Amino acid sequence: MDERLKGKRILVFDDEPHVRHGVRLVLEMAGFDVVTAEAGEQAIDLSQTANPELIILDIISPHKEDELPARRSEEGIDVCRAIKGNPITRDIPVIMLSVKGEVQDREKAEKAGADDYMTKPFNSSELMERVERLLA
């Protein structure tokens, strides 16, 4: 990894604790400073207050913990739109994550302003390659 990237802050938003933890671990081992969010509003707030240089968002997250999986929403898309629609945060690169590899999800992510899109599961080297490319 490029030494100039060490210490850069990355915001990770995913509703699944094990995914948040795994992504955080990979990034911290590479020398990044990582902040995490488990809810959309928290991610939007942190995008403005934590000064991240890159944001990783899960495309599908529940609005409420008690929602059934069938009622899951595209909260990550809404978060991406909010970040890209704010003059303060619009230039921060965003990587969208999804368990679905569907063309529609990729198109929704692009329309929301995402800079990249990855399908879960992914390996750590693929994640690092994309993070480094967007931060270079």
pLDDT given at position 32 = 97
How many Å apart are CA 31 and CA 51, to the nearest integer? 17
pLDDT given at position 61 = 52
Domain that holds residue 21: 3-135
Q: What is the mean pLDDT of residues 21-38?
A: 96
Confidence bin at 65 (pLDDT 50/70/90) = low
- pLDDT tens digit sequence for 75-97: 899 999 999 999 999 999 999 99
How many Å apart are CA 90 and CA 92, to the nearest integer? 6
In which order are the strands placed within the sheet that holds 33-37? 33-37, 9-13, 54-58, 94-98, 116-119
pLDDT given at position 22 = 94
How many Å apart are CA 100 and CA 131, to the nearest integer? 20
100 pLDDT exceeds 60? yes
Q: What is the mean pLDDT of residues 57-69?
A: 62
Asked whether the whole model's pTM tops 0.85, one would answer: yes
Q: What is the CATH number of the domain that holds 67?
A: 3.40.50.2300
pLDDT given at position 71 = 40
How far are the Cα atoms of 1, 32, 36, 120 from residue 29, in angstroms, in the given order?
11, 7, 15, 20
Question: Looking at the 3D structure of the chain, how many domains does it have?
Answer: 1
How many Å apart are CA 85 and CA 100, to the nearest integer? 25
How many Å apart are CA 62 and CA 88, to the nearest integer? 26
